Structure 1
Amino acid sequence: MAANLTESARTALVLGVSGGIGGELARQLVGAGWRVRALQRRAGDLGPIEVIQGDVMDRDAVMRAAQGCEVIVHAVNPPGYRRWADLVLPMIDNTLAAAQAAHATVVLPGTVYNFGPEALPRVAEDAPQQPRTRKGAIRVELERRIEAATARDARAIVVRAGDFFGPHVGNSWLAQGFLKPGQPLRTVREPGTRGVGHAWGYVPDVARTMLELIERRATLAPFARFHMAGHWDADGTQMAAAICRVAARQDLSVKRQAFPWPLIYAAALFATTPREMLEMRYLWRETLELDNARLVATLGREPHTPLDMAVEATLLGLGCLPAPARAVAAAH
């Protein structure tokens, strides 16, 4: 167990431990007996996780933190979706330099931004990557650099999933688009087009998948990419329906309504986040389903939490269910 780690314990560095996927994978690595380090700009107490003060934009800091590590989890993103073009590629270059020096495996939570209409609707790992957005082009270049590094003493695992959601994921479409965190559920806003499928990735499942692939890393290709089917909303209405079912069990009456896209267009004239939302709107207008055949062939199955259970845990974590419900859940 984490409390009884020895000097021979495997060591992983997690970059982005304060984020949803980085924090969840760090917790699961600790639970699996790994020694976990986190590189953060501000020192703080993360319990069994060793905190090293430093910045991912500082290559020397990343390389020092990665010394002796077998795995580097690159789950860091620019805060608030800002300065992607300036920060994303320098950050991965620093991680790759550290991985090459330590002979470590880089683990990357991937996205579907890489793919344009040529690859749709059902997308396998090796589908053409012809993104239509600036952010998608950056993600393609990021993965290209990772693949190139695997020819120079590094290894890599990329796990692509749909829109992340989970108890500790505040920066997500579900948390920022469908509902209002910290407030009792009254309204669910639906950004998609009815009949258009949408892929979701429940973060604890994504982290479990990554952990199982990490444990098998010696058997994988140097550059190994996998897709998670996750929670597939075939007609674009099932996530909102699940939220309403969970709310009804707590005697909450919830109204479903269309997402206010016209307001987002207006706000995009003045703010960064609405502009980023508009750039990704195509994912709500066109079906993109992830083919997980390679993952199933490797693991035997895909880790999967039932949708209503995943939604309930998420709503509890976001403070959207009544206090009594949260207390009961904590007691169990």
Structure 2
Amino acid sequence: MQTITILGVNGRIGQEVAKAFVGAKWRVIGMGRGNRVKLEGVEFFEGDVNFPDQTKQAIAEADVVFNALNLPYDKWDKGRAEALLSRVLDAMKGSGKTLMFPGNIYNYAASEHVITPDTLQKPEKEKGEIRKRMEEMLARASVAGDIQTLIIRTGDFFAPGAEGTGFDMIMMRDIKKGVLQYPGALSLYHSWAYLPDVAEVYVKIAQVRQEFAQFESFHFTGHFATGLQMIEAMQAALPQKAKLKAFPWGLLRFLGLFMSLMREVVKMKYLWDVPQRLEDKKLEALLGQDFGTPFDVAVAKTTRSYLS
């Protein structure tokens, strides 16, 4: 039986990936500061990545390590995001294990409308520069032979009950008042990734990891939908039609004068103003033509999860 250790198992992506690997009959070890979610089939390891010996112990028997660790959105700067990754790399140094790492679109210029693994990384904002530096750290560790790195890049996450996403924090935030909000133009496309599908992508890649280079990235297309397509799918899942309002970016800008989190969200507004599609023929061939949950089904399940 193959073993994966998930660092940050309590987070939204950590939970989904854990469930997917349990379903694939892997041994799953989940590391966290507390066993908050108590996932069935997961061996919980209480530990903190800030203590190297604890991380080393958590990954000791793992063939694959998934880094689901992340800092609050307004705490990436001042080298903190890089320092967090560095602690993981220090724990894995010389192990030869596979590290799976979640990537995003931040690394690329807004002018890039189709993004493949070969697209040159030219970040628009500081967060993109941070993510680019982190991936460069992973590349150096891989070239040194310490680890194999497999990056899975996706659009914005959504899933039933997931917290801290554009879906629940923006579009559904006033649903109990009968209101939907959309943060961009309804005619523009946006890249979305349904988390249960993303988790299955990790499983499929991990199962054939020996076929890949020491450092590789994969781009999961997920769902590329216009704002109108998203809103129509959400409306179809509601018991009664909601009012549609524009998202109050002006209010967020004002709040950003006092709240660092709002300030950081506003900085990334451009992502809602440009269509950026992820493409990867290599990954598409691995997944097969019918992979993934249909868009309407995924949106309906997610929408209904926030109604209670």
CA contact (8 A) 1:69 1:102 kept: no
Deviation >4 Å, runs of 4+: none
Distance 1:100 1:59 in 2: 11
1:204 partner letter: P
Q: Please state if 1:192 is matched with 2:172.
A: no
Distance 1:220 1:302, change over 3 A: farther
Q: Please state if 1:207 is matched with 2:199.
A: yes
Distance 1:50 1:87 in 2: 29
Q: Which residue of 2 aligns with 1:266?
A: 254
Q: Which residue of 2 aligns with 1:174?
A: 167
SS of the aligned residue for 1:102 comes to coil
Q: Which structure 2 residues correspond to residues 298-313 of structure 1 after superposition, within 5 A?
A: 298-301=286-289, 303-313=291-301
Distance 2:248 2:298 in 1: 26
Q: Which structure 2 residues correspond to residues 136-175 of structure 1 after superposition, within 5 A?
A: 136-151=128-143, 152-175=145-168
How high is the TM-score relative to the length of structure 2?
A: 0.93
Where does structure 2 lack aligned partners over 5 or more consecutive residues? Answer: none
Q: Report deviation, 1:128.
A: 1.3
How high is the TM-score relative to the length of structure 1?
A: 0.87
CA contact (8 A) 1:209 1:303 kept: no
Cα offsets for 1:1-26 (capped at 9, x unmatched): xxxxxxxx211110121121111010
Which shifted more, 148-157 or 55-64?
55-64
Which shifted more, 261-270 or 38-47?
38-47
Q: Which structure 2 residues correspond to residues 113-152 of structure 1 after superposition, within 5 A?
A: 113-118=106-111, 120-151=112-143, 152=145
Distance 1:311 1:23 in 2: 19
Aligned length: 305
2:43 partner letter: E
Q: Please state if 1:230 is matched with 2:218.
A: no
Identity of aligned residues (%): 32
Q: Report deviation, 1:58.
A: 2.4
Q: Which structure 2 residues correspond to residues 241-252 of structure 1 after superposition, within 5 A?
A: 241-247=232-238, 250=239, 252=240
Q: Report deviation, 1:263.
A: 0.6
CA contact (8 A) 1:96 1:106 kept: no
Q: Report deviation, 1:241.
A: 1.4
Distance 1:25 1:185, change over 3 A: farther
CA contact (8 A) 1:38 1:49 kept: yes
Cα offsets for 1:115-158 (capped at 9, x unmatched): 1134x111111211111211111110111111111122311111
Distance 2:134 2:259 in 1: 26
Cα offsets for 1:38-74 (capped at 9, x unmatched): 2211245433212222212322221121102111101
Distance 1:195 1:315, change over 3 A: closer
Where does structure 1 lack aligned partners over 5 or more consecutive residues? Answer: 1-8, 323-332
Q: Please state if 1:10 is matched with 2:24.
A: no
